[in-house]
Amino acid sequence: MRFFWLASRILLVSFAVTSLSAQEDLYYLVKSHQWDRLESHFQRISPTKESEVYSLIEYHEKAPNGNKETRFRYLISLVRGVFVSDTSSEEVKKILTQTMPFQTTLFRLTYWKLYSEISQKNYLNTDEKIQFLSRLNWEEDPICRKAFDELIRLLAIENKWQDIVEKTESLPDSVKYYLVTPDSQYRYGKAKLMLGDEKKAIEEWTHCLQRDTIQEYTVQYIAADWGKWKGNGNIHQLPASELTLFFPAINVADKEAIFRSRPELFSSRLQFFQGYKHLTLQLVKLDRTDDLYRTLRTNRNYVDLDPGWIGQLADILYQQNKFAKAIDLVKSFGGKDPGTYRILAASYDRLGEKNLYFENLVLYLGKYPFNLFYQDRLLDSLVIRDKGSIQYAPISKFEKALAEIPNLPVKGRLVYWYLRALDSAGEKERLKKELKRYYLFCPGSYYTRVIREEFITLIKEERAPDNPAYNKENLYEYLSHTAGIPEESPNLLGKNLGFAFPKGSYELGVRLSNAASKIQGNKTLSLATDYFRVGEDSLGLSLVHHYALKEKLSEEEKEEILVGIGDQSKNTYYTAFYTRSLLKRYMIPDDPILLPPQVSMRIFPRPHRDLVKKYADENSISEDMVYALMRQESFFKETATSRSNARGLMQIMPATGKELAQRMGVTNYSLYTPNVSIRLGTKFLAYLLKSNENQLRWASIAYNGGPGNLRKWKKQVYNGDFNHFLEDLPYKESRDYCRIVVSNYYAYDILKKYHKL
């Protein structure tokens, strides 16, 4: 047997300093499910290092050619430190007496995976499992958290209450709050109770019930034990603050009885925020409006602390068809968050109050314009289409919406229909004026080219500015003339347009470029990065969320860190997703013409470029089209799975993948493997392009809705004008999908031709 601990001592010493970066390429293959390349790698070399053994563990768990028993053997081997051929329980039990190595991130991951396997195989009894878990060093690590939770559970099963107390109290204060979950805290409190310390038990349980991560079953456990100790009716007699913490464990009939017998609950200043939420939630569900309002007035501090909770309560009333009550609740206690206006708009709509519906719908989209469903609802109220005829609302209503909603790409459809309304009303001079500046209202929108195409005659009646880079006014007039199309915009290509970058966008780009410096040297964030590097995203995210809470970071600060982690771990999905989220938070248009490169290259990246180029060339299509589709389908997440079970970067359905694979002679494949997903998806896209005049806009609808549905929709509503066809397309998902994919394609084309990216 070969001792790879010894063979990789140098690696492990450097690991403590540089973490996983020394094996970046290997981990990238694991993270991105590139099992074909990993298999090829190990056909050339034998594993000698911890990182190599771990990558084989992942391969045999997730690759099409993986073998469960081989994986189990590698799990034992990595933890034992030697390559083993025997996978018996005796071999596993040797771990209980061996010297433990330096516990790297990979070691802890493997240790936990092995524990899960040996638990399923019943290789260890409960005492041996306790011994196995106790050998870990307790650190601020999500694996340690899982292991400590399991350890305390096993000790409780064995009624080892003193051990629970000792294990919990021996934890360093620096990691105790993180490692002790609500479940472990409940069991620690029970241990104190069983050992006669009732005061400490009640204190721990009260703290546990206040945690926002506590599950309902844990509340029920505490209630059951409390009832056994103090009597079943004792909880109902508790002071209001403590009683409300137990509400998830009290049945509806008992809650109603409590409300009848204890009216003082509604005028009590509650000590705990969780209790306030439990009480108000039950009052809404039981339709006790007067009591709810008394509670909210008494606890106004909590209303102000989380105004979004009022929106959630109003949403429940709305779902119960209590529209007037939802309106009254929001108007009485709601803040000015977007959810408030959404509830008001939806409720007024159901009550037939058209003017109030429109007013609040516009206010909602002014606060949160990215909801495409409500963007469509706004247009439905402004443009009435019936059997081929179109009626427009007064122009003043269009202008009210235009004034309230920020100038972002998502505003493009409203701008387009506003211009059509002006045209229909015969407002030619006004229309010409707006056509000279429409790009300002919806920079980077899919609709900028639709508007140019529809109104090209009027647009070309005016000459574009000769020097578009002179100032912002000239620039937006020029872009309104050309729609930013590279071939139509020679006076902008290669120019520095920094003077026109949206407010805050340059500063955001600088912060994103410097985000890595916040991670380096920070133990928690470096560990989170390690987990992202090997594809353990949920563990990495849990650490980032924990760090953000501990350091009291804003959501913006947390998302900037996630972009930095995405950059460092080569996790394109997280880089792109959270960069886009930040742009939304700051209301910055994602127009690639007018964004700093540090931002645009992150929201329109080109991962797996060698594969994309290879299969795009093989199928004679543009790689920009492949990226446009990939960005919408998976946002570059290799392991993406949709609700309909579409998989991988190109979101291929298993049945479609099977048919394509058979035709192309692909066997033993996984749709999560980038090579397979990009190869099959590009082939399918090329087929759809060929079937639809090589136009991405048609092909994208077929990719999303199916070629058969596209043919049906063409027969139903196509009259020779694609732009009008897309507005009338009966299936919203495919409408939105086409706009986004084609807009993505324009963005990649612009980045290449404007900025050489």
- State the pLDDT at residue 130: 98
- In the predicted model, is pLDDT for residue 376 greater than 50? yes
- What's residue 387's pLDDT? 77
Please check the confidence at residue 281 and state whether its pLDDT lies above 50: yes
- For residue 92, give both structure tokens: 């596993």
Whether residue 600 contacts residue 748, with contact meaning beta carbons closer than 8 Å, is answered with no
In terms of domains, do 574 and 684 share one?
no
Given a cut of 90, whether residue 280 has pLDDT beyond it is yes
How distant, in Å, are the alpha carbons of 109, 151, 664 from that of 184? 21, 9, 53
d(CA 267, CA 103) in angstroms, rounded, equals 54
Query: With contact defined as beta carbons under 8 Å apart, do 682 and 676 qualify?
Result: no
User: Does residue 677 share a domain with residue 556?
Assistant: no
The mean per-residue pLDDT over the stretch 691-714 comes to 96
Asked if residue 581 is part of any domain, the answer here is yes
What is the mean predicted confidence (pLDDT) over 648-676? Answer: 95
Give the chain's domain count: 3
Instruction: Please give the structure tokens belonging to residue 582.
Output: 């930040």
Encode pLDDT of 326-339 as tens digits.
999 999 998 888 99
Per-residue pLDDT averaged across 283-310, rounded?
A: 95
* 532 found inside a domain: yes
Q: Assign 23 a pLDDT band (cuts: 50, 70, 90).
A: low
pLDDT of residue 441: 98
Residue 647 β-bridge partners: 641, 652
Enter the DSSP assignment of 172: -
Q: Report CA Rg, the chain.
A: 30
Domain match, 119 and 52 both: yes
DSSP category for residue 647: B
Q: Say if residue 4's pLDDT is above 70.
A: no
Supply the CATH number for residue 88's domain. Answer: 1.25.40
In a domain, 435, yes or no: no
Q: Is the dihedral of CA 296, 301, 303, 306 positive or negative?
A: negative
Residues 61 and 183 in one domain: yes
**Among the three residues 171, 199, 234, which one is the final residue of a domain in this structure?**
234
* Separation CA 590–CA 477 (nearest Å): 19
Whether the predicted pLDDT of 348 surpasses 70: yes
Assess whether 628 and 711 both reside in one domain: yes
Between CA 259 and CA 280 the distance in angstroms is 12
Whether 497 contacts 515, CB under 8 Å: no
User: pLDDT tens-digit profile of 462-507?
Assistant: 999 999 999 999 999 999 999 999 999 999 998 999 999 999 999 9
95 in the same domain as 211: yes
pLDDT, one tens digit per residue, over 102-123 is 999 999 999 999 999 999 999 9
The answer as to whether 88 is a domain residue is yes
3-state class (DSSP) for residue 380: helix
Does the pLDDT at position 9 exceed 70?
A: no
The per-residue DSSP string of 230-286 comes to: H-TTTGGGS-HHHHHHTGGGS-HHHHHHHHHH-GGGGG---S-HHHHHHHHHHHHHT
Residues 583 and 634 in one domain: no
Bridge partners, 82 (sequence order): 3
Q: What is the full DSSP assignment across 79-105? A: HHTB--S--SHHHHHGGGTSPP----H
pLDDT surpasses 90 at 1: no
Q: What is the CATH number of the domain that holds 692?
A: 1.10.530.10
Confidence category of residue 685, pLDDT binned at 50, 70, 90: very high
543-590 confidence digits (pLDDT tens): 999 999 999 999 999 999 999 999 999 999 999 999 999 999 999 999
Per the prediction, the chain carries an average pLDDT of: 94
* pLDDT of 292 above 70: yes
What is the value of pTM for the model shown?
A: 0.94
Question: Is 270 inside a domain boundary?
Answer: no
How far apart, in whole angstroms, are the C-alpha atoms of residue 526 and residue 163?
33
Q: What is the mean pLDDT of residues 720-744?
A: 96
pLDDT score of 24: 63
Helices H, strands E: what count in the chain?
47, 2
Residues 221 and 89 in one domain: yes
pLDDT bracket for residue 25 (50, 70, 90): confident
Looking at the structure, do residues 71 and 183 belong to the same domain, yes or no? yes
d(CA 757, CA 677): 24
Q: Span 610-635, mean pLDDT?
A: 98
In a domain, 484, yes or no: no
Tell me what pLDDT residue 285 has. 95
> For position 518, what pLDDT does the model report?
86
Which of 194, 113, 202, 187 is closest to 152 using CA atoms?
A: 187
Q: Which domain holds residue 36?
A: 30-234
Q: Is the pLDDT of residue 12 over 80?
A: no
* 217 domain residue, yes or no: yes
How confident is the model over 198-242, as pLDDT tens digits? 999 999 999 999 999 999 999 999 999 999 998 878 999 999 999
Give the pairing type, strands 389-392 and 383-386. Answer: antiparallel
- Residue pair 410/370 in contact by the 8 Å Cβ criterion: yes
Please indicate, yes or no, whether residues 670 and 521 belong to a single structural domain of this protein.
no
Which of 177, 204, 234 marks a domain boundary? 234
What torsion, rounded to 10 degrees, do the Cα atoms 481, 487, 491, 496 define? Answer: 110
Do residue 670 and residue 571 come from a single domain? no
Single residue among 234, 250, 275 that ends a domain in this structure: 234
Per-residue pLDDT for 7 more than 90? no
147 CB-side CA count, 13 A: 25
Q: Are residues 671 and 739 in the same domain?
A: yes
Which tens digits make up the pLDDT trace of 159-211?
999 999 999 999 999 899 999 999 999 999 999 999 999 999 999 999 999 99
- Residue 293 is assigned to a structural domain of this protein: no
d(CA 740, CA 700): 10
